[in-house]
A and B are shown apart, each in its own frame.
Chain A
């Protein structure tokens, strides 16, 4: 390690003063978010510390079993998070199942692709590479999948008469739902497109900044970041296409009928 400054607990405590200042601001201005702000900050500290412990343990025993187990837990949380973001979730297990399945498929495919082609650590499942990589890809794929599904279910519910008008004229389901599908995929891809366009000009990505702070030469950190961006774009696209097309087939049937009865009735109408 060349030239990286270790942080002490006192340093962190100093940083936390900023969050406390925000909470104070919320109290003074009656924003009503101080409680949630503090809970979120505490959660962040606890979750990250646990992650640090888990990673330290994982790194000391390079085992495919433990790596996969950690990956599964991450995927499970991502699935729950994506499901919670839906305005009109699919009924039953489909809501959780579809999102989680697509994220797992896309994120693990892209992660394994990167590990076996570009990065090639030895062994390829070395958790020091696999877990952070999966985390970054999964986080972004989750955003894409949940945006895509949300836009699809809202789209079919709000534009039901337009979709059915085409079905009535004998259109097949993919044609009748075409505009909704395209819009859903666009909204799923928009965050990664925007972030690729703004990266380096407006924002410096966290991973690259972290590597530079850790003493890596800027050009090396940049190359890593470029690869990560490509992987995220790939994962988001794959996951979103899977989730949106899965949703389309769930919300229609083999007689090419629109089946809004398969949306959870607890959602908005």
Chain B
């Protein structure tokens, strides 16, 4: 499902609310289980979130992955070198950070993944690699909510569309 809408309309706030990072009203449930029935951390392990500017807590890239060996195939697929593990965090570019954070989010095996303009800072080849990777995961049963500004990308990746305008969310035909 793609989420569209002008900048500042509240798309990122919607994602933050779904993943329960800000106090919010509204009922959210996954496979019939209400979010309130589980703890915040348990909910967020099921519902992954890739913000537009992912955060980092360690000094080295590798510290952010619990199992680098398991992440290795994805690292290679998204065009990152294997020695990225030892990079200091000042080294990766914005685009590399987004790809690393995507791998970090996928490594936690969420059932739902919320993406906030994941390809805005990527070159064409990386965009294609990310889109293919996500499409494969969707085939395997991952649900994705994808915020995008790129109408063509929305058509490529989504079957359903949400429109966010001035803080209001509606389902968009097409």
Other than the known A162-B56, A165-B57, A169-B105, what 6 A-B pairs have Cβ atoms closer than 8 Å? A163-B55, A165-B54, A168-B48, A169-B45, A170-B42, A257-B21
Type the 1/0 row for B44-64, where 1 means its CB is closer than 8 Å to any CB of A.
110011010111110000001
From known contacts A255-B40, A256-B39, A257-B40, infer whether A168 and B19 are also in contact, taking CB-CB under 8 Å.
yes
From known contacts A168-B48, A170-B108, infer whether A257 and B53 are also in contact, taking CB-CB under 8 Å.
no
Query: Which of A163, A165, A261 has the most CB atoms of chain B within a 10 A radius of its CB?
Result: A165
In contact, A169 and B23 (Cβ under 8 angstroms): no
Q: Compute how far the CA of A257 lies from the CA of B16 in the bound complex, rounded to whole angstroms.
A: 11
Contact of B21 among A159, A162, A258, A261 (CB under 8 A): A258
In contact, A170 and B41 (Cβ under 8 angstroms): yes
Q: Compute how far the CA of A161 lies from the CA of B49 in the bound complex, rounded to whole angstroms.
A: 13
From known contacts A161-B55, A163-B55, A255-B39, infer whether A168 and B49 are also in contact, taking CB-CB under 8 Å.
yes
Indicate if A179 sits at the interface (CB-CB under 8 A). Answer: yes
**Category for how many chain A residues contact B:** 20 to 34
Residue of A nearest to B39 (CB): A256
Q: Compute how far the CA of A256 lies from the CA of B41 in the bound complex, rounded to whole angstroms.
A: 7
Indicate if A183 sits at the interface (CB-CB under 8 A). Answer: no
Interface residues of A in 111-147 (CB under 8 A from B): none
From known contacts A162-B57, A165-B56, infer whether A257 and B108 are also in contact, taking CB-CB under 8 Å.
no
Type the 1/0 row for B5-36, where 1 means its CB is closer than 8 Å to any CB of A.
00000000000000111110000000000000
- Residues of A contacting B64 in the complex (Cβ-Cβ under 8 angstroms): 165
Indicate if B111 sits at the interface (CB-CB under 8 A). Answer: no
Contact of B53 among A161, A167, A261 (CB under 8 A): A161
Interface residues of A in 183-218 (CB under 8 A from B): none
- Residues of B contacting A259 in the complex (Cβ-Cβ under 8 angstroms): 23
Query: Which of A160, A163, A168, A170 has the most CB atoms of chain B within a 10 A radius of its CB?
Result: A168
Indicate if A172 sits at the interface (CB-CB under 8 A). Answer: yes
In contact, A257 and B48 (Cβ under 8 angstroms): no
